[in-house]
Amino acid sequence: MKNIFLIGTGLIGGSILKDLRNHYPESTLYGIDKNPEHALKAKSNKIIDHVAQIEDVKDAQLVIVSIPVDVALKVLPQVLDLVNEEALVIDVGSTKEAICKSVEEHKNRRQFLAAHPIAGTEFSGPDAAIHDLFKNKTMIVCEVEKTAFKLQESAIALFEKLKMRVRYMTPAAHDKHIAYVSHLSHISSFMLGKTVIQEEVNERDIFDLAGSGFESTVRLAKSSPAMWTPIFAQNKEHVLASLDGYIENLSRFRESVKNNDHNAIFKDMEQTNRIKTILKGIENGK
């Protein structure tokens, strides 16, 4: 591949390019970002070779789109308008249904592949990009049958170079699943942080008592609001359903505490301890 373009030079896109540079040493890497500081930072961090503009994607063999999911709805059709007939365009956003719909009828739909790498950290921006972020992680691919055979093949080869395992799903199943295992985790963590910060008004020394348990549970509350607001908006129905389930479970637990139903409290926790086995599966790369 001669020219690889990245649109959105943040944590995910930047980390992809850091690995691709090793695997495609012959390629020239270009970065496009609506924030010029991010693009320049990506260049000085050697994530990209050159800062480029959207029109330049006409020369690309590969375009990675890694931007907030609301912006992707507008940028993706625009990129598909501009690219040459050999180019592969991969979107890596955290929602898939609206994104797939945005290019459904595009004449170059077969040059597009919808993906979502289950990887990340709570940090953002080009400085957050790291090597090997995707190693042994899952790449969800949606509507693979709508991508041209040859481009399917190059995409999978690329994901294998990143040492990822590929899972195929429909966009609808993806958005539903991910509401539970990712979006709900972020909301539960943000609201925990908010609740404790509110209490701090009364109890100034409260964080002096916080230990590693609190730290772990609240870690995701460091995440970027600019990235997460459009995700929750776009996956609204599934996020609401997962939140309903969560609030109901919390309210029932609250009732058990209120009614001194220690047996119910114990059983609730004991049954959830099964998460030990499940997390062991995640750690071992399943």
Task: List binders of its own copies among 198-217 (CB under 8 A).
Answer: 198-199, 203, 205-217
Shortest Cβ 204–its own copies spacing (Å): 10
Shortest Cβ 66–its own copies spacing (Å): 16
Rounded to whole angstroms, what are the CA distances from 183 to 114, 227, 228, 276?
A: 19, 12, 9, 21
Shortest Cβ 179–its own copies spacing (Å): 9
Beta bridge partner(s), residue 142: 114, 169
Shortest Cβ 30–its own copies spacing (Å): 28
The nearer residue to its own copies, 94 or 154, going by C-beta atoms, is: 94
* Cβ-based neighbours of 197, under 8 Å, separated by 6 or more: none
Residues 119-138 contacting its own copies, CB under 8 A: 119-122, 137-138
In one-letter notation, the amino acid at residue 281 is G
49 DSSP 8-state letter? S
The length of the chain in residues reads: 286
The H or E element spanning position 1 is none
Does 157 bind its own copies (CB under 8 A)? Our answer is no
Pick from 35, 37, 167, 170 the residue near its own copies by CB under 8 A.
167
Shortest Cβ 142–its own copies spacing (Å): 12
Pick from 18, 41, 96, 186 the residue near its own copies by CB under 8 A.
186
Shortest Cβ 127–its own copies spacing (Å): 14
The H or E element spanning position 282 is helix 275-283
Does 107 bind its own copies (CB under 8 A)? Our answer is no
Does 44 bind its own copies (CB under 8 A)? Our answer is no
Own/partner pairs, 283-286, CB within 8 angstroms, 24+ separation: 285/136, 285/165, 286/165
The nearer residue to its own copies, 53 or 284, going by C-beta atoms, is: 284
Does 16 bind its own copies (CB under 8 A)? Our answer is no
The nearer residue to its own copies, 80 or 184, going by C-beta atoms, is: 184
Report how far residue 154's alpha carbon sits from residue 149's, in angstroms, rounded to the nearest whole number. 9
84 DSSP 8-state letter? -
Does 115 bind its own copies (CB under 8 A)? Our answer is no
Does 176 bind its own copies (CB under 8 A)? Our answer is yes
Residues 221-280 contacting its own copies, CB under 8 A: 221-223, 225-226, 228-230, 232-233, 236, 239-240, 242-247, 249-251, 253-254, 257-258, 260, 262, 265-276, 278-279
Does 106 bind its own copies (CB under 8 A)? Our answer is no
Q: Measuring CA to CA, which residue among 60, 109, 62, 59 is closest to residue 88?
A: 62
Does 285 bind its own copies (CB under 8 A)? Our answer is no
Backbone angles phi, psi at 237, to 5 degrees: -65, -45
Each residue 48-77 as x (binds its own copies by CB under 8 A) or -, in order, gives ------------------------------
The H or E element spanning position 136 is none
Helix (H), strand (E), coil (C) string for 137-195: CEEEEECHHHCCHHHHHHHHHHHHHCCCEEEEECHHHHHHHHHHHHHHHHHHHHHHHHH
The nearer residue to its own copies, 157 or 226, going by C-beta atoms, is: 226
The nearer residue to its own copies, 51 or 243, going by C-beta atoms, is: 243
